[in-house]
Amino acid sequence: MIPDTYPKVSIIVASYNSADTIKECLESILTLDYPPDHVEIIVMDGFSKDTTVKIAQQFPVKVISLPLNAPAAYNYAQKTAIYPILGFIDSDAKVEPQWLKKLVPHLSEPQVAGVSGSIETWNQSNPWARSIGYEIKNRYQRIGRYTRRIATMNLLLKKSALEEVDGWDENLPSQYDTDFGFRITKKGYKIAYEPSALCYHYNRTTLKTFYRQQLQYGKNTLKLYFKHDKLARGDEITDAGMNIQPILLLVVVLLFFLGLIPLLRILWIGPPVILLSMLLYFTYSAAKISSKFHDWSAMRLVVLYFVRAGAWFNGAVTTTLSYLLERKR
């Protein structure tokens, strides 16, 4: 592919309080092995309270600050983007120099609306971040040549296909990428996966920040599954085993409170049995991943799995209570 035949791409970076990563993110985009005049970079900032905007403004990019969530920011940027291919890179991610060159050929395939690369861990030195990265990488390795949905962490999309499904759902502050994938594949399109195109993601470094992230996923996953009930069955990225874990925690809570009734006290046998079963399953899963990646520090996944299940459960409960309260008004 000679330079003049490369498609022109508008790369959109949604940011919020990303001062620690935005510099390296933009540097990686600006140093792509790709004709510079074929790439437009748009930073959509959601009114960051740190120095994200000041840092971004030091680069030859378009910076737009608006109080929008990620899908709303993407919809706004889509209207201002000047090129027919849209690229999406998270502000806490960076890509290898060949990333774009490896992805764009897939867009010439019939019915391919988008293409994504694989995900590596940026902050490998942190054991929590490294463990999270192993788990994500393990799930991504289950993807074949095509997938029904993929994260916007590193993604190319044909602008025309995105417009055909009316863009991103702004009512889903997270999980909007899963929703988009479901809607685009229902139209007969495909999302290609190119594992050799590498993106490095800055994973959460503490249990507290990981919990907060997963809580947001939990709040919106319930909305997503009401919108697309088939997704609750699981797929190669989020399998049925992950989806059932918050339900098991719900059963634990229900059995505990029912057991407060003297005649039903025997139900208290249930919670420890369920939690022990989850512990054994989590230990087995963490051991498999630790062995696969030759790093036994990944046994931290046992803790991370419990934190994620708890966050998803709390998020689902919060969403349900909010819905019920709104209906009463």
Task: Find the range with the poorest average confidence among 42-51, 187-196, 236-245, 299-308.
Answer: 236-245
- Give the span between the Cα atoms of 192 and 146, in whole angstroms: 4
222 or 105, which is more confident = 105
Tokens matching residue 325: 């309260």
What's the domain count of the chain? Answer: 2
DSSP string, 78-103: HHH--SSEEEEE-TTEEE-TTHHHHH
Average pLDDT (21-28) is 98
Nearest to 145 by CA among 175, 118, 171: 118
DSSP string, 304-320: HHHHHHHHHHHHHHHHH
Q: What pLDDT score was predicted for residue 4?
A: 56
Q: What tens digit of pLDDT does each residue of 248-303 get?
A: 999 999 999 999 999 999 999 999 999 999 999 999 999 999 999 999 999 999 99
Q: Which of 205, 221, 242 is the last residue of a domain?
A: 205
Contact 22, 122 (CB under 8 A): no
Residue 63: inside a domain? yes
Residue 219: inside a domain? no
Same domain? For 256 and 175 the reply is no
Q: What pLDDT score was predicted for residue 321?
A: 84
Same domain? For 98 and 200 the reply is yes
Calculate the CA dihedral of residues 120, 126, 128, 131 and round it to 10 degrees: 40
Same domain? For 235 and 192 the reply is no
Per-residue CA distances from 194 to 30, 120, 173 (Å): 21, 13, 26
Average pLDDT (303-311) is 97
Per-residue confidence band for 231, with pLDDT thresholds at 50, 70 and 90 = confident
Residue 214: inside a domain? no
What's the domain range around 198? 3-205
- Give the span between the Cα atoms of 117 and 132, in whole angstroms: 18
Per-residue confidence band for 235, with pLDDT thresholds at 50, 70 and 90 = confident
Residue 284: inside a domain? yes
What CATH number is given to the structural domain containing 120? Answer: 3.90.550.10
Residue 221: inside a domain? no
Same domain? For 124 and 182 the reply is yes
Residue 56: inside a domain? yes
Same domain? For 79 and 114 the reply is yes
Contact 122, 136 (CB under 8 A): no
Per-residue confidence band for 82, with pLDDT thresholds at 50, 70 and 90 = very high
